[in-house]
A and B are shown apart, each in its own frame.
Chain A
Amino acid sequence: MPLNIGCTARPGRGRDNKTGSWRVFYPIFTEETCTGCEICVLLCPEGCIEKKGEKKYVPDLDYCKGCGLCAEECPGDAITMEKEEK
């Protein structure tokens, strides 16, 4: 496929690029220790963590690339990273 003149790209390509396939570790959210601070939502580089309830946060695993930033920064240690395949 020839290159686009001016190095142009359409935004749809970003949406189609499902970074979930890059994941080695995936996050597990524990409601009991969650403070509901939403730092995980704000920090997620892929913007793929969604609030589903009072203390219920769910990553979109199509896009979560397993970087672990949410787990690292969670003040209540409510997120742990687990190996994708054992």
Chain B
Amino acid sequence: MKEILEGSHAVAEAVRLCRPQVVSAYPITPQTHIVEALASMVADCKLDAEYICVESEFSALSACIGASTAGSRTYSATTSQGLALMYEVCFNAAGMRLPIVMTIANRAMSAPLSIWNDQQDSISLRDSGWIQLYAEDNQEALDLHLLAYRVCEDHDILLPAFVCFDGFILSHTYEPVDMPTQEEVDAYLPAFNPYQRLDAKDPISFGMYATPDYYMEFRYENQRAMLRAKEAIVRYGTLFKEQFGRDYSGLIEGYELEDAEIALVAMGSICGTVKDAIDEMRKDGIKVGLLKIRCFRPFPDEEIAAALAHVKTVAILDKNVSLGSKGAVGLEIKDALYGSSIAVYDYILGLGGRDIRKKDIRAITKLAEQGSGDMFYGLREELL
């Protein structure tokens, strides 16, 4: 049923429908409304879960690891500094192969302190072994939680996942979403069937010591599981489409891309603004299209290379920067297109909540056409 509600509450509803057994999180702007809503649901008996209050994000994810190893479907949510505080725990969750799902309400990293949106937080965890999915709107944010649990809990995958949606821009936006019923979600997402779990009668330890004779093989197995996740996301995305009608069968998505000469590449909520800008530019005869990346980890390099094979120019819109290098998405795209004759330019924009307008997308398209790129876009020169 279509209803209008805040993005955070749409995500909280989606999580409730996924029937997590343990939720542990520490509130932080702009994630707070999600976990507030979940805490209320638990208190009001609308969600049959254990809500574990903790004193930090480090503890929140540690509690999730404990609960997941004990065989529970587990959920957390955070952003920015909170995610940074979880850094080492994130690697542990992935290495122990625990299918924890965590929402990231994307926010800039301090210092300087900023509560506003960019994607530096989750991007900085790109090497941690978590699947990373990015939502364009609140419908997608809601739906990706169902997909994430389905993929992560597959015994061929067994990896944790971030569902990333832009802080404030989506988390605090009221817009209509189609909310599935509990029956529909239950039909899509079966009860959690742990691959292995802690059991006092048959004790095991998770995340044991691995000597140099074994460590590399463990990492290699993590990498293989991550690469298998590509196929699993496509498979369960197709299943989602069959059941709910919304198509998440692709790791990437094209918009006006088939005949495009210039391709813009973006992730998250900016894709909506880009689509509107493309419609305007197409009316002016500019052959521009969008390649939207839904799945950043595992990175769909072959899929992207195939989707962009026909374009002349690529402009990547990066809401992050790997300081001392370029935008993280830009680096990946340059790698995926290595050896081709396509001109690839990276643009760092929208950091710390800097608003991105249609005219900015037009300006970047023009810069790419002129062969000018690998830059911060939209700097206030008077401040420098």
B218 interfacial by beta-carbon distance below 8 Å: yes
- Docked-complex contact A6 and B203, CB < 8 angstroms: no
- Docked-complex contact A8 and B95, CB < 8 angstroms: no
A11 in contact with B218 given A6-B97, A6-B158 (CB within 8 Å)? no
- Docked-complex contact B214 and A8, CB < 8 angstroms: no
A12 nearest CB across to chain B (Å): 9
CB within 8 Å of B: which A40-68 residues: none
Residue of B203, B205, B210, B218 with highest tally of chain A CB at under 10 A: B205
Q: Is the interface of B mostly helix, strand, loop or mixed?
A: loop
B110 interfacial by beta-carbon distance below 8 Å: no
- Docked-complex contact B203 and A8, CB < 8 angstroms: no
A11 in contact with B203 given A5-B97, A5-B196, A5-B221 (CB within 8 Å)? yes
Complex CA–CA separation, A1 to B206 (angstroms): 18
B88 nearest CB across to chain A (Å): 15
A1 nearest CB across to chain B (Å): 11
- Docked-complex contact A8 and B204, CB < 8 angstroms: yes
B210 contacts which chain A residues (CB < 8 A)?
7
B338 contacts which chain A residues (CB < 8 A)?
none
Q: Which residue of B lies closest to A14 (CB)?
A: B205
- Docked-complex contact A8 and B206, CB < 8 angstroms: yes
Complex CA–CA separation, A81 to B46 (angstroms): 66
Complex CA–CA separation, A10 to B202 (angstroms): 8
- Docked-complex contact A5 and B195, CB < 8 angstroms: yes
A38 nearest CB across to chain B (Å): 29
B204 contacts which chain A residues (CB < 8 A)?
8-11
- Docked-complex contact B217 and A3, CB < 8 angstroms: yes
B223 nearest CB across to chain A (Å): 13
Can you spell out 18 A-B residue pairs with CB atoms less than 8 angstroms apart? A3-B214, A3-B217, A3-B221, A5-B221, A6-B95, A6-B97, A6-B98, A6-B195, A6-B207, A7-B95, A7-B96, A7-B208, A8-B196, A8-B205, A9-B205, A10-B203, A10-B205, A11-B205
Chain B interface residues (CB < 8 Å from chain A): 95-98, 158, 195-196, 203-208, 210, 214, 217-218, 221
